[in-house]
């Protein structure tokens, strides 16, 4: 039986384009959903085997809906990521010119990435929100709006013309998409991995965030994203979404997670998976797996009264 993948639809979204880059999705059944929560709920119910959703954009930052769904909803696990360069096109019905455009529709993340371009080229047009850029294109085709910001690849699908392309305020924008499955063992480490967790602070107090950050700093782990979000339990109640280099199988990462579990009210593990950019982290001296193994052996020798082995030369310090 072929795999079933959920994604933010309708057909012609950037999420569908990202799904095309997921190796395991080749030959899979692809099922569009109107919203990210709907796609994730389908995965939770078992109606699909995996889901691909947008998580972060290099211009607009994190996607709050995705973060909140994964942090607070029924647990799911990230098993992979895709980085997709994003450039918008202005799609219109054939025969439409700039002077005819009074409304422009797009996903809320698209409009801020093209705000200055829109102000220069269609200054009198009003922006309208759509659940996806492809839905915006669909609304233009149906005559509800005059133009849509979407991928140029959506034009043919909806019978539209590309009035302008390569639209952006900041060049080389990239959106990060993640592949999700129901909770499962993480993929094997590759040496170029990222881990995602959500930490819940139990009691707000001076230094609470510093306590969390120290668990990473003392083990030489580099954070690639940290984002605070309200938990919904009242003002001042926050969680911290964190991406960092390494895999849960790495000793330094495992110890950091145990440290987080000790100082936080709760920690949600959201996955360890290969980085799309294939960046290999620099592992600081003293934080390699064999360093933790040697330290554990030394501690055991102290506890049992055995004579500890001579330390490696790298650890010897000359005394003046």
How confident is the model at residue 219, as a pLDDT?
A: 95
How confident is the model at residue 310, as a pLDDT?
A: 58
186-303 CATH fold: Alpha-Beta Plaits (3.30.70)
Domains 1-85+173-184 and 186-303 share a fold: no
Instruction: Indicate if the pLDDT at residue 91 is higher than 50.
Output: yes
Q: Tell me the CATH class for 1-85+173-184.
A: alpha beta
Instruction: Indicate if the pLDDT at residue 278 is higher than 70.
Output: yes
How confident is the model at residue 311, as a pLDDT?
A: 58
Q: Tell me the CATH class for 88-167.
A: alpha beta
- DSSP assignment of the chain equals ---EEEEESSTT-HHHHHHTT-GGGTT-EEEEESSHHHHHHHHHHTSSSEEEEEEEETTTEE-HHHHHHHHHSS--EEEEEEEEE--EEEEE-TT--GGG--EEEE-TTHHHHTHHHHHHHSTTPEEEE-SSHHHHHHHHHTTS-SEEEE-TTHHHHHT-EEEEEEE-SSTT-EEEEEEEESS-PPPPP-SSEEEEEEEE-SS--TTHHHHHHHHHHTTTPPEEEEEEEE-SSSTT-EEEEEEEES-TTSHHHHHHHHHHHHHSSEEEEEEEEE-TT-PPP-PPTT-SHHHHHHHHHHHHHHHHTPPPPPPPGGG-----
More confident position, 291 or 23: 291
**Lowest-confidence region among 100-104, 175-179, 190-194, 306-310:** 306-310
Instruction: Indicate if the pLDDT at residue 69 is higher than 80.
Output: yes
pLDDT grade for 85, boundaries at 50, 70 and 90: very high
Q: What residue spans define the domains of the chain?
A: 1-85+173-184, 88-167, 186-303
- Give the model confidence (pLDDT) of 233-261 as tens digits: 887 788 999 999 999 999 999 999 999 99
How confident is the model at residue 318, as a pLDDT?
A: 39
């Amino acid at each position: 039986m072929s795999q079933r993948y959920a994604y933010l639809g309708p057909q012609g979204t950037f999420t569908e384009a990202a799904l095309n880059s997921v190796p395991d999705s080749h030959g899979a059944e692809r099922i569009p959903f109107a919203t990210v929560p709907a796609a994730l709920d389908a995965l939770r119910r078992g109606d699909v085997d995996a889901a691909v959703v947008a998580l972060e954009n290099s211009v607009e930052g994190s996607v709050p809906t995705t973060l909140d769904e994964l942090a607070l909803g029924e647990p799911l696990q990230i098993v992979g990521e895709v980085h997709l360069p994003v450039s918008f096109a202005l799609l219109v019905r054939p025969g439409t010119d700039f002077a005819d455009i009074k409304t422009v529709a797009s996903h809320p993340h698209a409009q801020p990435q093209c705000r200055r371009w829109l102000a220069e080229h269609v200054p009198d047009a009003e922006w309208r929100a759509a659940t996806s850029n492809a839905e915006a294109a669909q609304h233009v085709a149906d005559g509800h709006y005059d133009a849509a910001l979407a991928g140029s690849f959506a034009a043919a699908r909806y019978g539209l013309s590309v009035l302008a392309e390569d639209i952006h305020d900041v060049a080389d924008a990239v959106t990060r998409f993640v592949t999700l499955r129901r909770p499962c063992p993480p993929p094997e480490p590759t040496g170029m991995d990222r881990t995602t967790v959500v930490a819940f602070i139990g009691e707000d107090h001076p230094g609470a965030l510093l306590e969390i950050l120290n668990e990473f700093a003392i083990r030489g782990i580099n954070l690639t994203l940290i984002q605070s979000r309200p938990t919904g339990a009242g003002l001042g109640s926050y969680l911290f979404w964190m991406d960092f280099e390494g895999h849960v199988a790495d000793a330094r990462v495992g110890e950091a997670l145990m440290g987080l579990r000790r100082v936080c009210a709760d920690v949600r593990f959201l996955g360890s998976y290969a980085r799309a950019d294939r960046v290999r982290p620099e592992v600081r001296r003293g934080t390699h797996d064999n360093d933790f193994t040697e330290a554990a052996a030394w501690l055991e020798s102290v506890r049992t009264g055995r004579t500890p082995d001579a330390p490696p030369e790298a650890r010897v310090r000359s005394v003046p």
